[in-house]
Structure formats: C-alpha cells, structure tokens
C-alpha cells in the first residue's frame, strides 16, 4: 500500500469519525435542550436510614444515596416546573445484589416503579408524566430496596407521533370469537382517550379490595383481575379449589372487563419447597431450558397436561361469552418465577409453541388442507359434497369412544367452523356447496346434543351409528339380532328432535352389522338392516353401509361386495337394504 493510499484511507476514516462524532454531539445537544433540571440525590431529602456514599464509581456530584433497606426508606427530590406539560423522569441508578424495582411517587401518589437492572450506574427513564406548572415532589421509595441512587434528571417529553394512538383492532388469532373482537375494539376505541381502571382481587368483583374501593369512591373499577393459580394440578392435589372462573362470569355479567393471570404452580415432581410456593424459582428444580430443547420430555408432557387443565377452565368462559385478557407467564424478566428463569429462546418457545401454536395448529392445518381441496374441485357441481372430518376425537384417552367431554366437543365445533368458513371463502361453486360436519367422534349418543351447526343453510350433520352395539359392532358380541330395536328407535328419534325437525338434514355416514360365524347370521343381519333403514327412511335420513371389504379373519367383517368379482357376498342383506328403503304411500 503506497503512501497516497494510506493518506486517502486515513482521510476517509477521519471523515467517518467526524461525521459520527457530529451526529452524537447533535443528539446530545438536543437532549440537553430538553433538560429542565438535574437534582443530585445527596442534596435531596433523605430518610434517616439513607446515607451518602462514594465507594461506587461513576457517580456525579459529591456522592450518591444508599440504604434503601427498610420500609419507609426514601429519597425525595423537590423540583420546579415552569410550564404545564409532559415530562420524563430519568434516574441514574445502580442495583446492589441483582435486579431491583422500587416505587416512584409523584406528590405522594404512586407514579409506578423504576427498575435498576445493572450493578453499575445506568440511566433509567419513566416517560411522559403529566405535571402542572409549580412545585412538585418526586420520591423514590423502597419496594425491593438495595439500590444506589445518584441523581434525577427531569426532561421535557418528546412530542408523540401523529399516528401514535392509531392502533389496529385486529387480533392475531383469526379464529377469535365475536366477544373477543368486540372487547378488543372497545379497548382500541378508548386507547389514548380514557384510562380503564382495574384491580386484582381474589374474591372477584365483591372481594375485599373491591369493597375498599367502593367504600372510598362509591364506584367499582372497570376491570377485575383474577388468578388461575388454584387450578394448577399441583395445588388441587393438595386440596386447593379455584373460583376465578365463577368470579369472572359474575364480573362480566355485572359489566366489568375480566383480566386473568396464572401463577403457575410447577408440576408436582419439580416441587422442592412448600407446595403452595411452587411458582417461585427457589421452590422448584424445574429447568425450562431442558424441557424446551427436548432433554426433558417428561417435563414437556407435564407442562402440556397442566395447560390442558387451564384451557378446559377457560373454555367455560368462552362458552359463556366472557372474553378475557389472559396474561400467563408474566413478570418473566426478573427470574423470580420459574418460567422466567431460563434463556429468552426457551421462554419464547414456552409461550408460542406450547400456548398459541398448540392452540391454533390443528385449525391452521385443517384450513390449509381444505383450501387446497376446495381450489382443486371448485368447478365441480352440487353432486360433490365435502365432509370436513372423520370421527374427530381425543385419541388414547378415556373419552375417546364414549361421547367425549366438554373440551372435545368444543374443539370439534371449532374445527367444523374453520372447515365451513374455509370452503365458503374459496371460489367456484364452493360458496354454495353442500357440506357435512360430524360431532365428536361422529358419536350418535352423548355428543349429538353438543353439535353446534354453523349458520349456513347447506350443512348436513354426519353420524356413525352401529346399534345395537353388541350385535352390530362388538367383535366378541352375539350373532343374533333378537329384534332389539330400542337403540335404533332412540337414535332416530333424537336425530329428528335435534336436527330434522329444525330443517337440518342428517346422514348416517356409517352403519352396518359385522359378520359373525354363527348359524343364521346372514338372515339376522338382513332382518336387522331392513328395520334399521326403514326407521331412518321414515325420518328422511340416508344410510351408508361401512363396507370395508373384509370377509375373513377376526376383525370387523363388514364386507358386502367382493371387489374382485363384483359379486354380492350376502344377497339376503342386499334384499333387506332394498326393502327397508321402500316407503308405503
């Protein structure tokens, strides 16, 4: 490299340094213009336990205040404001022994808290405090304590951008119900204009804290805060009983907004201290990093199980039309709760992958699949009918085949709604296409009453009914029908009452009676099927035999037509099917 090149490079580098230096100086001068006053802590009013120290480096003035250790320890700055407006309070502060938070009072009234995240002096700011012209007192008072306070700098707040209060009411969850959307719209309408007051109270709207507020003001706060802590499985195992869902419904009925947090008591196997302190880091040995990176699969399943319990409770509010501002995994930055004692990546995964993503994944997959099918077949006419799901259920659980539970019914209804909406929003003939939806597991008994049919005049309810079970579906059951008509009659009557009479068509998408190697089994099945389809025909319900092509073995032998020879294996059953559909004039 020759000398001229070095000179040019040096000149460029110096030029960049000068430009950067100018920019920094410009920013600093603008900040200085906004400074209303600088107030040293050692010159402020200090409570008796506070003292002026000089051991820590980096302070300004002649020292800093230390000794925020007992209740009532505080430092009060007296300031003068010439013009009414908004002002920032910038505290130069350091913690002693780790992250701390302490109270800030403005003229004796709480203005919030100020954090001290570092063990050396940093500038931490509380923005946009409204002050009228005149004298004011700003007090830093012990909350966690153990800080070194150097000074207070008061600055005039910057003007807000014109669009600062223009926020969208669109929720990140596209499947949010109307109640949630209306609440979000209400919050957005009030943003930047009104303050919505709220109070956490374990007793709900009429609990102790609320009673105190009512006594002093004659009003209740607009928002009620509740906690799901007592629903945590590791607390209910010790006799705890949650009441927040009941209180939430009561508050909403009385016109209050509901917000809910969850002090999540860690799963039982991770508790090391008192069971009722299981949400604190120092009372558990749970390692969220290991759980979220796959090292602790048992722990992951334990978290999922806990969340399913809470989700089931929250679904009660959804069914009751009570929207909730839900804030689980809160206050994670300090690490005092176990869900915050981890890396940022693990916290993000625990929130997104196990809460939001888990909740929405099935709906997104269903929508993605059916949007593609709908596009491919959009030009087919009304002879093509779509059915969204086949026997959707909670696989591997105690309620898989016995009619389900509230959670299962809710999920299936939600998935049906996604399916219908996806088809209707696609092109071609899909907006007018006939669609079929099942209930939980397509069950013909308990689940029927929990089917929510979307507002749509081209929906068919799909049901699977093998009745009586011991003859029709039980591999180890009897081979004779014995004229057992009770269940068949009951199902047809229920389908009529719940749907047919209300103008909602029904299809029995699966039925049949399997082959049993007993004498006279074919004639028994033929008589059974004639009665079955005749009772369905009376109600206008088409039936589809589940022909799985199976004729031999020990499994479910529902075969009727030999696919290789195109021959009917059981001609008597064919005759029964035909006779059963013949209606008398």
Task: Specify the 3-state DSSP secondary structure of 437.
Answer: strand
Least trusted range by pLDDT, from 18-32, 144-158, 290-304, 344-358: 18-32
pLDDT tens readout for residues 190-204 = 998 899 999 999 999
Mean pLDDT of 412-418: 91
For residue 69 the two structure tokens come to 């250790």
- pTM exceeds 0.75, yes or no: no
DSSP state of 353: I
Of 52-56, 409-413, 538-542, give the lowest mean pLDDT range: 409-413
Task: Let me know: does 500 contact 541? Beta carbons within 8 Å.
Answer: yes
pLDDT tens-digit readout, 209-245: 999 999 999 999 999 999 999 999 999 999 999 999 9
pLDDT tens, residue by residue, 451-504: 999 999 999 999 999 999 999 999 999 999 999 999 999 999 999 999 999 999
pLDDT surpassing 70 at residue 17: no
Check: CB of residue 510 under 8 Å from CB of residue 546: yes
Q: Backbone phi, then psi, for 423, in 5-degree steps?
A: -70, -45
- What is the model's pLDDT at position 7? 41
Q: What pLDDT band is residue 381 in, cutting at 50, 70 and 90?
A: very high
> At which residue do the structure tokens 């050396």 appear?
120
CATH of 465-580 given 3.90.79.10, 3.30.70.260, 3.20.20.80, 3.40.640.10: 3.20.20.80
Secondary structure element (H or E) that encloses residue 510, with its range: strand 506-511
Topology of domain 196-342 in CATH is TIM Barrel (3.20.20)
Angle at 47 between CA 43 and CA 48, to 5 degrees: 110
Whether 165 has a pLDDT exceeding 70, the answer reads yes
Which of these ranges, 336-345, 411-420, 453-462, has the smallest mean pLDDT?
A: 336-345
Cα 131 from Cα 125, distance rounded (Å): 16
Q: Which residue has the tokens 């399916």?
A: 419
More confident residue, 339 or 162: 339
Q: How far apart are CA 485 and CA 490, in angstroms?
A: 9
C-alpha 121 chain-centroid distance:
39
Q: pLDDT-based confidence at 405, cuts 50/70/90?
A: confident
Domain boundaries of the chain, sorted by first residue: 34-156, 196-342, 465-580
Instruction: Check if the beta carbon of residue 559 is closer than 8 Å to that of residue 551.
Output: yes
Q: Do domains 34-156 and 465-580 have the same CATH topology?
A: no
34-156 sits in which CATH class? Answer: mainly beta
**Predicted pLDDT of residue 190:** 93
Q: What is the spatial distance between Cα 454 and Cα 419, in angstroms, rounded to a whole number? A: 10
- Average pLDDT for residues 293-301, to the nearest whole number? 88
Catalytic residues: 391, 510
Contact of 210 with 199, CB cutoff 8 Å: yes
Q: Name every residue whose Cβ is closer than 8 Å to that of residue 367 and which is 6 or more positions away in sequence.
A: 418, 419, 422
């Amino acid at each position: 490299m020759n000398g001229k090149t070095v000179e040019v490079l040096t000149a460029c580098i110096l030029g960049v340094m000068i430009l950067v230096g100018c920019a920094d100086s410009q920013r600093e001068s603008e900040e200085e213009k906004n400074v209303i006053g600088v107030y040293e802590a050692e010159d402020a009013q200090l409570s008796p336990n506070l003292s002026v120290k000089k051991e820590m480096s980096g302070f300004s003035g002649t020292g800093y205040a230390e000794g925020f250790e007992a209740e009532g320890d505080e430092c009060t700055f007296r300031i003068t404001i010439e013009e009414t407006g908004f002002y920032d309070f910038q505290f130069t502060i350091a913690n002693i022994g780790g992250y701390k938070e302490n109270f800030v009072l403005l003229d004796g009234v709480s203005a919030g808290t100020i954090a001290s995240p570092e063990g050396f002096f940093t500038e931490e700011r509380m923005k946009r405090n409204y002050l009228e012209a005149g004298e004011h007192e700003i007090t830093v008072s012990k909350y966690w304590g153990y800080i070194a306070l150097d000074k207070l700098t008061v600055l005039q707040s910057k003007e807000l951008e014109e669009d600062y209060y223009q926020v969208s009411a669109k929720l990140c969850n596209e499947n949010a119900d109307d109640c949630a959307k209306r609440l979000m719209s209400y919050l957005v309408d009030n943003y930047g204009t009104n303050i919505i007051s709220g109070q956490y109270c374990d007793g709900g709207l009429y609990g102790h804290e609320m009673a105190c507020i009512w006594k002093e003001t004659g009003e209740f706060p607009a928002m009620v805060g509740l906690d799901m802590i007592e629903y945590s499985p590791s607390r209910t195992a010790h006799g705890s009983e949650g009441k927040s869902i009941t209180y939430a419904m009561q508050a909403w009925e009385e016109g209050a907004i509901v917000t809910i947090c969850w002090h999540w008591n860690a799963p039982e196997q991770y508790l090391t201290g008192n069971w009722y302190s299981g949400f604190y880091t120092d009372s558990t040995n749970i390692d969220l990093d290991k759980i979220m990176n796959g090292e602790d699969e048992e722990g992951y399943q334990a978290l999922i199980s806990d969340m399913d319990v809470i989700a089931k409770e929250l679904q009660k509010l959804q069914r009751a039309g009570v929207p909730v501002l839900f804030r689980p995994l809160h206050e994670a930055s300090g690490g005092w709760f176990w869900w915050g004692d981890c890396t940022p990546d693990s916290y993000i995964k625990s929130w997104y992958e196990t809460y939001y993503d888990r909740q929405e994944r099935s709906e997104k997959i269903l929508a993605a699949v059916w949007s593609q099918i709908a596009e491919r077949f959009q030009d087919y006419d009304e002879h093509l009918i779509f059915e969204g799901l086949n026997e959707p259920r909670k696989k591997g659980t105690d309620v898989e085949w016995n009619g389900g539970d509230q959670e299962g019914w809710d999920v299936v209804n939600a998935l049906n709604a996604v399916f219908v909406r996806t088809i209707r929003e696609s092109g071609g003939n899909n907006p007018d296409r006939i669609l079929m939806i099942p209930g939980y597991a397509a069950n013909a008994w308990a689940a029927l009453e929990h089917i929510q049919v979307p507002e749509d005049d081209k929906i068919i309810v799909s049901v699977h009914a093998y009745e009586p079970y011991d003859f029709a579906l039980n591999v180890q059951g009897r081979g004779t029908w014995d004229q057992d008509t009770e269940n068949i009659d009951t199902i047809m009557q229920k389908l009529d009452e719940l749907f047919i009479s209300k103008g909602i068509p029904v299809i029995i998408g699966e039925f049949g009676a399997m082959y049993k190697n007993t004498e006279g089994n074919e004639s028994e099945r033929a008589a059974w099927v004639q009665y079955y389809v005749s009772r369905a025909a009376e109600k206008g319900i088409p039936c589809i035999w589940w022909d799985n092509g199976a004729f031999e073995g020990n499994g479910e032998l529902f075969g009727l037509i030999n696919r290789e020879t195109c021959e009917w294996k059981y001609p008597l059953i064919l005759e029964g099917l035909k006779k059963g559909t013949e209606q008398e004039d």
